[in-house]
């Protein structure tokens, strides 16, 4: 993947890009970054993959220091970025918080979204998860944790969300340096403080109105985002649900083959759908 | 007493035994002895934060980690993790 950056309305935004074809925007969650998709992207065929970095996350942590980094606002940032790139229509794929951003962007700008892919995404009232709610309530205590201790919190979070331990360790090594470099627990607290259920509840009733191809992949053993929510997305979006029975939360890292396979199927659905729209 | 309690919690550190032994160790490590109470209180605060996130780390690790970010310690670059670990070793002996 090629790292790219651009100033969008005064915000230094960055993303990883690979391939050519239909724009496919991949949106990560917490505590990850575009690197979440690094094993998925090489398996995607016929698409221009753009793994966008949420403002205030990954290498863009400094950009979030004095900005609203709620997921509702992230959807605005995402749309502004796409407009600046001249992308009028894209397939949106989201994991965790990124799934919430994708839903909000799709519902708010239906012409922008040509297809929707969700994997172990937040939605409805599925979030913040209980441990994050506790950390939100104790933000004043959490934010003081020294790096060696906060690193353990981050590691524990990643290990609980992966079904493959060696991948969990790789994930920690990918994501920890950005936290360590920019303020550790202070940054994490900044990210979680603005997580509000209301942001996804505001668009939940309009998900069934999205008239685009959609697919859902879910790690059925996810203790953070429960399979019942994947089933609900599947019903509301009229989307096939592919369960990964042994999968947990971080499906793009533990099961990139399955995630990529379903994204490729969605891309084919989008192609088919677009061809039906055109007059003979 | 009509019923037995389900559990009994003892406050151990600083209650059953004193922290005073550590003060001399701090001084001999080149750190101001009067920092002990604040350092210890902040270590407890960190332990509380870890507890609510369901993460366990040994007391020694927490004490040393806090010490390495504690202002009087940071002002003295020759105070290493090993030095701090030696200080807390005294506490472990008491336990």
For residue A45, give the CATH number of its domain: 3.40.50.1820
DSSP for residue A54 = P
Inform me whether the C-beta atom of residue A146 falls under 8 Å from chain B C-beta atoms: yes
Q: Is residue A162 part of a domain?
A: no
Q: Is residue A264 part of a domain?
A: yes
**Neighbour tally for B93: CB within 10 Å:** 8
How does residue A120 score in pLDDT terms, banded at 50, 70 and 90?
Answer: very high
pTM of whole model > 0.90? yes
Q: Chain A: nearest CA to B6, how far in angstroms? A: 26
Burial of B3 per CB tally in 10 Å (0-12, 13-18, 19+): exposed
Total count of domains within chain B: 1
CB A224 within 8 A of CB A250: no
Chain B residues within an 8 Å CB radius of A224: none
The CA distance from A50 to A19, in Å, is 9
The predicted model gives A33-56 an average pLDDT of: 98
Q: Is residue A164 part of a domain?
A: no
Out of A54-68, A190-204, A249-263, B43-57, least confident range: B43-57
Range of the domain at A111: 2-127+197-277
Inform me whether the C-beta atom of residue B73 falls under 8 Å from chain A C-beta atoms: no
Range of the domain at B71: 20-24+32-94
**Pick from A91, A95, A88, A53: nearest CA to A74:** A53
Q: Is residue B43 part of a domain?
A: yes
Residue A150 has a pLDDT of 96
Q: Is residue A73 part of a domain?
A: yes
The predicted model gives B45-57 an average pLDDT of: 90
Mean pLDDT across chain B: 82
Question: What ipTM goes with this model?
Answer: 0.80
CB A163 within 8 A of CB A247: yes
**Neighbour tally for B34: CB within 10 Å:** 12
The CA distance from B80 to B82, in Å, is 5
Total count of domains within chain A: 1
Say whether pLDDT at A270 is over 50.
yes
How does residue A275 score in pLDDT terms, banded at 50, 70 and 90?
Answer: low
**Pick from A95, A96, A65: nearest CA to A195:** A96
Q: Chain A: nearest CA to B73, how far in angstroms? A: 14
Say whether pLDDT at A210 is over 80.
yes
E strand or H helix at A124, and its extent? Answer: none
The structure tokens 């575009």 sit at A34
Q: Which residue of A has its CA nearest to B46?
A: A145
Residue A2 has a pLDDT of 96
* Strand blocks (E) in A53-112: 90-96
The phi, psi pair for A163, rounded to 5°, reads -95, -10
Exposure string over A14-36, b if 16+ CB within 10 A, otherwise e: bbbbbbeebbbbbbbbbbbbbbb
Q: Is residue B1 part of a domain?
A: no
3-class secondary structure, A133: helix
Tabulate helix, strand, coil % of chain A (nearest 5).
Answer: 50, 20, 30
Q: Is residue A267 part of a domain?
A: yes
User: Contacts by A42-45 with C-beta closer than 8 Å and gap 24+?
Assistant: A42/A18, A43/A256, A43/A257, A43/A260, A43/A261, A43/A264, A44/A18, A44/A19, A44/A260, A44/A263, A44/A264, A44/A267, A45/A264, A45/A267
Inform me whether the C-beta atom of residue A156 falls under 8 Å from chain B C-beta atoms: yes
Q: Is residue A71 part of a domain?
A: yes
Residue A277 has a pLDDT of 57
Chain B residues within an 8 Å CB radius of A138: 48-49, 52
Q: Is residue A171 part of a domain?
A: no
The CA distance from B66 to B45, in Å, is 10
CB-CB: which of B55, B66, B68 is closest to A156?
Answer: B55
The phi, psi pair for A6, rounded to 5°, reads -160, 150
Inform me whether the C-beta atom of residue B62 falls under 8 Å from chain A C-beta atoms: yes
Mean pLDDT across chain A: 96
Q: Is residue A22 part of a domain?
A: yes
Residue A23 has a pLDDT of 97
Q: Is residue B52 part of a domain?
A: yes
Taking CB atoms and an 8 Å cut-off, how many pairs form between chains A and B?
50
Give the pair of three-digit tokens for residue A108.
């708010």
Most A CBs within 10 A among B43, B44, B49, B54, hence the mutation to make, goes to B49
How does residue A242 score in pLDDT terms, banded at 50, 70 and 90?
Answer: very high
Q: Is residue B14 part of a domain?
A: no
Q: Chain B: nearest CA to A95, how far in angstroms? A: 22
Which domain CATH number covers B54? Answer: 1.10.150
DSSP for residue B13 = B
Q: Chain B: nearest CA to A195, how far in angstroms? A: 17
Q: Is residue B77 part of a domain?
A: yes
Q: Is residue B37 part of a domain?
A: yes
The answer to whether B52 contacts A138, with C-beta atoms less than 8 Å apart, is: yes
Q: Which residue of B has its CA nearest to A139?
A: B49
């Amino acid at each position: 993947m090629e790292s790219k950056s651009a100033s969008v309305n005064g915000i230094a935004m960055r993303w990883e890009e690979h391939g050519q074809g239909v724009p496919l925007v991949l949106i990560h969650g917490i505590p990850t970054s575009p690197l979440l998709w690094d094993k998925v992207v090489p398996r995607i065929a016929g698409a221009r993959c753009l793994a966008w970095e949420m403002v205030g996350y990954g290498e863009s942590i400094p950009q979030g220091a004095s900005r609203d980094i709620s997921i509702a606002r992230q959807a605005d940032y995402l749309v502004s970025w796409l407009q600046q790139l001249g992308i009028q229509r894209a397939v949106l794929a989201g994991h965790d918080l990124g799934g919430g951003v994708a839903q909000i962007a799709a519902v708010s700008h239906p012409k922008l979204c040509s297809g929707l892919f969700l994997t172990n995404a937040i939605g409805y009232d599925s979030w913040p998860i209980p441990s994050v709610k506790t950390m939100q309530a104790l933000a004043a205590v959490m934010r003081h944790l020294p790096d060696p201790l906060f690193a353990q919190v981050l590691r524990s979070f990643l290990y609980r969300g992966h079904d493959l331990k060696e991948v969990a360790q790789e994930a920690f090594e990918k994501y920890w340096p950005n936290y360590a470099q920019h303020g550790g627990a202070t940054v994490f607290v900044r990210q979680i403080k603005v997580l509000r259920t209301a942001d996804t509840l505001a668009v939940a009733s309009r998900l069934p109105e999205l008239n685009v191809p959609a697919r859902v992949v879910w790690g059925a053993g996810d203790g953070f985002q429960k399979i019942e929510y994947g089933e609900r997305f599947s019903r509301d979006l009229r989307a096939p649900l592919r369960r990964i029975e042994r999968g947990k939360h971080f499906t793009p890292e533990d099961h990139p083959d399955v995630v990529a396979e379903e994204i490729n199927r969605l891309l084919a659905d989008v192609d088919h759908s677009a061809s039906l729209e055109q007059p003979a | 007493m009509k019923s037995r309690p389900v559990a009994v919690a003892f406050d151990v550190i600083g209650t059953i035994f004193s922290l005073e032994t550590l003060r001399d160790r701090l001084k001999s490590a080149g750190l101001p002895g009067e920092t002990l109470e604040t350092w210890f209180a902040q270590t407890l605060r960190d332990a509380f934060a870890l507890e609510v996130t369901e993460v366990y780390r040994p007391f020694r690790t927490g004490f040393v980690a806090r010490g390495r970010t504690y202002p009087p310690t940071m002002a003295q670059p020759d105070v290493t993790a090993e030095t701090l670990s030696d200080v807390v070793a005294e506490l472990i002996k008491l336990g």
